[in-house]
Amino acid sequence: MGLVKIAIIVLDVLKINCKYIPMLLNNKYQGGSQTNLIGIGGFGRVYKAWDTLLEKYVAIKMVTIEGAKIQYNLVEEVKKAATLTHENIVRFNDVFVLKGSSLTGEETETQVGVMEYIPDGDVSHLDWLSLSIAEQKDVILQILNGLEYLHKHKIIYRDIKPSNILIKRENGKIIPKMTDFGISKTL
Ligand SMILES: Nc1ncnc2c1ncn2[C@@H]1O[C@H](COP(=O)(O)OP(=O)(O)O)[C@@H](O)[C@H]1O
Ligand SMILES: [Mg+2]
Protein backbone atom coordinates (compact mmCIF):
# COMPACT_ATOMS: atom_id res chain seq x y z
CA MET A 1 0.00 0.00 0.00
CA GLY A 2 1.43 3.38 -0.99
CA LEU A 3 2.20 6.13 1.49
CA VAL A 4 -0.45 8.40 0.01
CA LYS A 5 -3.10 5.73 0.49
CA ILE A 6 -2.04 5.21 4.12
CA ALA A 7 -2.15 8.99 4.72
CA ILE A 8 -5.67 9.17 3.26
CA ILE A 9 -6.85 6.33 5.47
CA VAL A 10 -5.35 7.98 8.58
CA LEU A 11 -6.94 11.32 7.67
CA ASP A 12 -10.25 9.62 7.06
CA VAL A 13 -10.14 7.89 10.44
CA LEU A 14 -9.27 11.16 12.19
CA LYS A 15 -12.06 12.94 10.37
CA ILE A 16 -14.55 10.27 11.41
CA ASN A 17 -13.44 10.58 15.03
CA CYS A 18 -13.79 14.38 14.97
CA LYS A 19 -17.19 14.04 13.37
CA TYR A 20 -18.31 11.45 15.90
CA ILE A 21 -17.15 13.36 18.95
CA PRO A 22 -17.29 17.12 18.51
CA MET A 23 -16.76 19.05 21.72
CA LEU A 24 -20.43 19.95 22.03
CA LEU A 25 -22.91 17.91 20.06
CA ASN A 26 -26.15 19.68 19.13
CA ASN A 27 -25.15 22.54 21.49
CA LYS A 28 -25.83 20.30 24.41
CA TYR A 29 -24.02 16.95 24.67
CA GLN A 30 -20.38 17.04 25.64
CA GLY A 31 -18.30 14.19 24.25
CA GLY A 32 -14.59 14.41 24.60
CA SER A 33 -12.18 11.73 23.63
CA GLN A 34 -12.21 8.21 22.26
CA THR A 35 -12.26 6.94 25.85
CA ASN A 36 -15.97 7.72 25.85
CA LEU A 37 -16.66 4.89 23.42
CA ILE A 38 -18.70 2.35 25.39
CA GLY A 39 -20.02 -0.02 22.77
CA ILE A 40 -19.75 -1.07 19.16
CA GLY A 41 -22.64 -2.94 17.62
CA GLY A 42 -23.59 -4.13 14.17
CA PHE A 43 -24.27 -0.66 12.73
CA GLY A 44 -23.66 1.92 15.38
CA ARG A 45 -21.28 3.10 18.02
CA VAL A 46 -22.36 4.11 21.50
CA TYR A 47 -20.60 6.86 23.48
CA LYS A 48 -20.94 8.14 27.00
CA ALA A 49 -21.53 11.91 27.00
CA TRP A 50 -22.51 14.67 29.40
CA ASP A 51 -25.83 16.49 28.98
CA THR A 52 -24.73 20.04 29.86
CA LEU A 53 -28.30 21.32 30.36
CA LEU A 54 -29.77 18.51 32.45
CA GLU A 55 -26.35 17.87 34.03
CA LYS A 56 -26.34 14.10 33.78
CA TYR A 57 -24.59 11.40 31.77
CA VAL A 58 -26.31 10.07 28.68
CA ALA A 59 -25.51 7.36 26.16
CA ILE A 60 -25.33 8.48 22.56
CA LYS A 61 -25.81 6.00 19.72
CA MET A 62 -24.50 7.13 16.33
CA VAL A 63 -24.95 5.66 12.89
CA THR A 64 -23.35 7.26 9.84
CA ILE A 65 -24.84 6.72 6.42
CA GLU A 66 -22.66 7.49 3.41
CA GLY A 67 -24.06 8.16 -0.05
CA ALA A 68 -27.07 6.01 -0.85
CA LYS A 69 -26.18 3.18 1.54
CA ILE A 70 -29.09 3.16 3.94
CA GLN A 71 -29.07 -0.08 5.87
CA TYR A 72 -30.28 1.10 9.21
CA ASN A 73 -32.63 3.80 10.40
CA LEU A 74 -31.80 4.99 13.89
CA VAL A 75 -34.44 7.73 13.74
CA GLU A 76 -37.13 5.06 13.29
CA GLU A 77 -35.60 3.00 16.12
CA VAL A 78 -35.69 5.97 18.50
CA LYS A 79 -39.22 6.96 17.43
CA LYS A 80 -40.37 3.50 18.40
CA ALA A 81 -38.41 3.30 21.65
CA ALA A 82 -39.29 6.84 22.78
CA THR A 83 -42.95 5.84 23.19
CA LEU A 84 -42.03 3.17 25.74
CA THR A 85 -41.97 3.70 29.48
CA HIS A 86 -40.98 0.67 31.50
CA GLU A 87 -38.37 0.07 34.18
CA ASN A 88 -36.82 -2.78 32.15
CA ILE A 89 -36.55 -0.87 28.89
CA VAL A 90 -33.89 1.76 28.19
CA ARG A 91 -35.40 5.21 27.88
CA PHE A 92 -34.58 7.23 24.72
CA ASN A 93 -34.83 11.01 25.12
CA ASP A 94 -33.74 12.66 21.91
CA VAL A 95 -32.84 12.09 18.27
CA PHE A 96 -31.26 14.32 15.63
CA VAL A 97 -29.40 14.15 12.33
CA LEU A 98 -26.03 15.72 11.46
CA LYS A 99 -25.23 16.32 7.79
CA GLY A 100 -21.67 16.26 6.55
CA SER A 101 -19.42 14.98 3.81
CA SER A 102 -16.79 12.27 3.61
CA LEU A 103 -13.22 12.76 2.39
CA THR A 104 -14.29 11.49 -1.01
CA GLY A 105 -16.95 14.20 -1.21
CA GLU A 106 -19.92 11.94 -0.62
CA GLU A 107 -22.75 13.33 1.49
CA THR A 108 -22.96 11.72 4.89
CA GLU A 109 -25.76 11.69 7.40
CA THR A 110 -25.07 10.83 11.01
CA GLN A 111 -28.13 9.82 12.95
CA VAL A 112 -27.81 10.39 16.67
CA GLY A 113 -30.03 8.87 19.36
CA VAL A 114 -29.75 9.95 22.99
CA MET A 115 -30.74 7.62 25.81
CA GLU A 116 -30.33 7.18 29.53
CA TYR A 117 -26.84 6.00 30.46
CA ILE A 118 -26.86 2.53 32.00
CA PRO A 119 -23.66 2.22 34.04
CA ASP A 120 -23.13 -1.42 34.95
CA GLY A 121 -22.43 -3.23 31.68
CA ASP A 122 -24.63 -5.80 29.99
CA VAL A 123 -25.84 -9.31 30.75
CA SER A 124 -22.99 -10.87 28.73
CA HIS A 125 -20.64 -9.83 31.57
CA LEU A 126 -22.97 -10.71 34.43
CA ASP A 127 -21.49 -13.21 36.87
CA TRP A 128 -24.58 -15.40 37.35
CA LEU A 129 -22.85 -17.70 39.84
CA SER A 130 -22.36 -14.81 42.26
CA LEU A 131 -26.15 -14.42 42.43
CA SER A 132 -28.50 -16.48 44.55
CA ILE A 133 -31.15 -18.57 42.79
CA ALA A 134 -33.77 -16.01 43.89
CA GLU A 135 -31.72 -13.16 42.38
CA GLN A 136 -31.21 -15.08 39.13
CA LYS A 137 -34.96 -15.72 38.89
CA ASP A 138 -35.66 -12.07 39.60
CA VAL A 139 -33.38 -10.87 36.76
CA ILE A 140 -35.04 -13.27 34.29
CA LEU A 141 -38.51 -12.31 35.46
CA GLN A 142 -37.74 -8.62 34.93
CA ILE A 143 -36.52 -9.32 31.37
CA LEU A 144 -39.77 -11.19 30.72
CA ASN A 145 -41.72 -8.24 32.17
CA GLY A 146 -40.00 -5.94 29.68
CA LEU A 147 -40.77 -8.34 26.84
CA GLU A 148 -44.40 -8.65 27.92
CA TYR A 149 -44.69 -4.84 27.97
CA LEU A 150 -43.33 -4.71 24.39
CA HIS A 151 -45.81 -7.35 23.24
CA LYS A 152 -48.67 -5.40 24.85
CA HIS A 153 -47.53 -2.46 22.73
CA LYS A 154 -47.48 -4.71 19.64
CA ILE A 155 -43.69 -4.67 19.29
CA ILE A 156 -41.84 -7.90 18.52
CA TYR A 157 -38.30 -7.42 19.73
CA ARG A 158 -36.57 -10.10 17.58
CA ASP A 159 -33.04 -9.59 18.98
CA ILE A 160 -32.86 -11.04 22.48
CA LYS A 161 -29.23 -11.61 23.43
CA PRO A 162 -27.04 -10.75 26.43
CA SER A 163 -25.37 -7.72 24.78
CA ASN A 164 -28.78 -6.09 24.20
CA ILE A 165 -29.76 -6.30 27.86
CA LEU A 166 -28.00 -3.67 29.94
CA ILE A 167 -27.61 -3.69 33.71
CA LYS A 168 -28.17 -1.11 36.37
CA ARG A 169 -27.50 -1.90 40.03
CA GLU A 170 -29.71 -0.06 42.49
CA ASN A 171 -29.40 -0.62 46.26
CA GLY A 172 -27.89 -4.06 45.62
CA LYS A 173 -30.67 -5.04 43.20
CA ILE A 174 -29.96 -5.81 39.55
CA ILE A 175 -32.26 -4.07 37.10
CA PRO A 176 -31.93 -5.41 33.53
CA LYS A 177 -32.85 -2.96 30.77
CA MET A 178 -33.54 -3.97 27.19
CA THR A 179 -32.09 -1.81 24.46
CA ASP A 180 -31.47 -1.91 20.69
CA PHE A 181 -34.78 -1.83 18.83
CA GLY A 182 -32.92 -1.82 15.51
CA ILE A 183 -34.59 -4.92 14.06
CA SER A 184 -37.79 -4.96 16.11
CA LYS A 185 -41.12 -4.96 14.28
CA THR A 186 -44.36 -3.20 15.12
CA LEU A 187 -47.46 -5.27 14.31
N1 LIG B 1 -27.77 3.27 27.21
C2 LIG B 1 -26.60 2.65 27.26
N3 LIG B 1 -25.81 2.77 28.34
C4 LIG B 1 -24.62 2.12 28.42
N5 LIG B 1 -24.14 1.31 27.45
C6 LIG B 1 -24.87 1.15 26.32
C7 LIG B 1 -26.13 1.81 26.18
N8 LIG B 1 -26.65 1.46 24.97
C9 LIG B 1 -25.76 0.61 24.40
N10 LIG B 1 -24.68 0.44 25.20
C11 LIG B 1 -23.53 -0.42 24.88
O12 LIG B 1 -23.30 -0.39 23.47
C13 LIG B 1 -23.48 -1.69 22.89
C14 LIG B 1 -24.12 -1.55 21.50
O15 LIG B 1 -25.38 -0.92 21.62
P16 LIG B 1 -26.63 -1.41 20.74
O17 LIG B 1 -27.75 -0.44 20.92
O18 LIG B 1 -26.92 -2.85 21.07
O19 LIG B 1 -26.03 -1.25 19.25
P20 LIG B 1 -26.16 -2.17 17.94
O21 LIG B 1 -27.50 -1.88 17.35
O22 LIG B 1 -25.07 -1.66 17.06
O23 LIG B 1 -26.00 -3.60 18.41
C24 LIG B 1 -24.32 -2.47 23.91
O25 LIG B 1 -24.11 -3.86 23.82
C26 LIG B 1 -23.81 -1.89 25.23
O27 LIG B 1 -22.61 -2.52 25.63
MG1 LIG C 1 -27.03 -4.63 19.95
Q: Are residues 112 and 140 both part of a single domain?
A: no
Domain endpoint, select from 84, 100, 116: 116
**Is-contact 183 156, C-beta < 8 A?**
no
Q: Are residues 90 and 131 both part of a single domain?
A: no
Query: In this structure, which residue's CA is closest to atom 13 in ligand 1?
Result: 39
Q: Are residues 89 and 134 both part of a single domain?
A: no
**Is-contact 79 92, C-beta < 8 A?**
no
Domain endpoint, select from 96, 116, 136: 116
Ligand 1 center–CA 163 separation, angstroms: 7
| Active centre residues (catalytic) | 159
User: Residue 109 phi/psi, 5° resolution?
Assistant: -130, 125
User: Residue 20's pLDDT is what?
Assistant: 47
This prediction's pTM: 0.84
What digits encode the pLDDT tens for the residues 112-150?
999 999 999 999 999 999 999 999 999 999 999 999 999
Query: How far apart are alpha carbons 76 and 18 in whole angstroms?
Result: 25
Read off the CATH number of the domain in which 44 is found: 3.30.200.20
**Segment 59-71 mean pLDDT:** 79
Query: How far apart are alpha carbons 63 and 65 in whole angstroms?
Result: 7
pLDDT, averaged across the chain: 86
Domain span at 90: 3-116
**Is-contact 77 182, C-beta < 8 A?**
yes
Q: Are residues 31 and 99 both part of a single domain?
A: yes
Confidence of residue 15 (pLDDT cuts 50, 70, 90): very low
Read off the CATH number of the domain in which 165 is found: 1.10.510.10
Question: Is 92 a residue whose pLDDT tops 90?
Answer: yes
Question: Is 30 a residue whose pLDDT tops 80?
Answer: yes
Ligand 1 center–CA 133 separation, angstroms: 27
Ligand 1 center–CA 4 separation, angstroms: 35
Atom of ligand 1 nearest to the CA of 121: 27
Question: Is 21 a residue whose pLDDT tops 80?
Answer: no
